Amino acid sequence: MTSPQLTIEGGHPLRGTVHVGGSKNAMLYALPACLLTGEECVLENVPEIEDSRVMGAILASLGARIQNEGSGVWRIQADKITRFDAPNELVVNLRGSFLVMGPLLSRFGEASCCSPGGDVLGSRPLDVHLEGFTALGASVSRLGEQYLAQAAGSERRLSGARVFLDYPSVTGTVNLLFAAVLAEGETTLINTAGEPEIVAVIEMLNAMGAKISGAGGSVLRIEGVNELHGVRYRIPADRIETGIFAMAAAISRGDVRIDGAAPDQLDALIVKLREAGASVDVDEGSIRVHAEGREFRNVQAQALPYPGLATDHQPYLAAFLTQANGVSVMYERVYDNRLLYVGELRKMGADVIAAGQTAIIVGPTRLYGTLVKALDVRAGGALVLAALAAEGRTEITDTHHLDRAHEDLVGKLRGIGAKVER
């Protein structure tokens, strides 16, 4: 079956109000967290996207009961887990699928999972996860395609330890948090990531009875507890989706208010938009981007771990900067294969080249609608942005990547005046 495609007619300034949905990444952490208890967990504001469906299917394959009540409300109960190995055919579709390892190992003393799939963004070594499990007292081995982790001793319980992460891996931090919350004794995680989505899952875990301190910093302390209980928790707003709508307003020279946003998580992006010449007004829970009649200036930016510019925003900002005067330089410091979008933007007339981990963008350039391919989630978003500014019609194929991260992207874009069809 062929993937649907998007057709976008450019040249229409976007105007109006759009509401941002629940965070894809926060959802990917919240769902496996529900494996840590046998009591019912109720999650609100779960985005209706492909990644949610795949993660839900993985939990269901392990024996968890999943009930999607609609309107973003999911009920999850993992009181009858029947297996501790995540099925390969589901894991290969989702980067976050390896996050079932920590909860299963922590609660049941055993877990196995193959290397996760998802976007091809370069190497994603699992060393931080596996070495951390070992430091907490698990034995880790390879069993065919899967990594097998087992807690030692008759009680099959992990032991608290002082664990240093070789680099501040986001998913590594989350997986080790999951492993540590039910471990015996105190665990200190050093050199951890501090993304807002990690702060969110810590808030959820603490509401379930965990004892975690240091959220948002580079050192996390976890006092192990014997069990966790159920929780009702709301997934926070998606800061990456907020960014795509902010840049859609800018690149189309429109005027858009984004409601349901968390502006204090987007300082790096807001600074760069203002530096480039867009007007950005911030209020509690909303961001307004106004760019009518504006001339944009070139900027330099680099994608870094939070609170730096998000690597997921880097392709979006690059697309926007094709319309800025002068030479803009974009450095990618997180993933080694994040610049796949460059070749597709060039098909639309963009004057952009990739040099190692750097994108060099000369503007402003006239973009022209043509046939392009979404090579991953964020590369697809960059093409959507370019299409909004292009002359004529742009056809974007392989839009299943966009479905993984965006809830009703077409409907939201239409709601603020975009001419887009699926």
Residue range 213-260, pLDDT digits in tens: 999 999 999 999 999 999 999 999 999 999 999 999 999 999 999 999
The reply to whether 24-234 shares the fold of 6-21+237-421 is yes
Please give the Cα distance from 304 to 302 (Å, whole number).
Answer: 6
Architecture of domain 6-21+237-421: Alpha-beta prism (3.65)
Confidence of residue 3 (pLDDT cuts 50, 70, 90): low
- Residue 16 to residues 20, 182, 248, 414: CA-CA distances in angstroms? 13, 47, 12, 10
265: number of Cβ within 10 Å? 22
Confidence of residue 296 (pLDDT cuts 50, 70, 90): very high
| All structural domains of the chain with their residue ranges | 6-21+237-421, 24-234
pLDDT at res. 119: 42
List, as one string, the DSSP characters of 91-129.
Answer: HTT-GGGGGGHHHHHHHHSEEEEE---S---S----HHH
Residues 33 and 83 sit within 8 Å (Cβ to Cβ): no
Please give the Cα distance from 150 to 140 (Å, whole number).
Answer: 7
The single-letter DSSP state of residue 38 is: S
Please give the Cα distance from 411 to 418 (Å, whole number).
Answer: 9
How much of the chain exceeds pLDDT 90, in percent? 87
The pTM is what?
0.94
80: number of Cβ within 10 Å? 10
Average pLDDT of span 362-369: 97
Q: What's the sign of the alpha-carbon dihedral 163, 167, 172, 173?
A: positive
pLDDT above 60 (res 118)? no
pLDDT at res. 275: 98
Confidence of residue 155 (pLDDT cuts 50, 70, 90): confident
Q: Is 364 exposed, middle or buried (0-12, 13-18, 19+ CB in 10 A)?
A: middle
Confidence of residue 405 (pLDDT cuts 50, 70, 90): confident
Confidence of residue 39 (pLDDT cuts 50, 70, 90): very high
Confidence of residue 123 (pLDDT cuts 50, 70, 90): very low
Amino acid at 170: V
Out of 3.65.10.10, 3.40.50.12170, 3.30.1330.10, 3.40.50.10470, select the CATH number for domain 24-234: 3.65.10.10
Of 137, 143, 140, nearest to 155 (Cα)? 137
Please give the Cα distance from 306 to 346 (Å, whole number).
Answer: 29
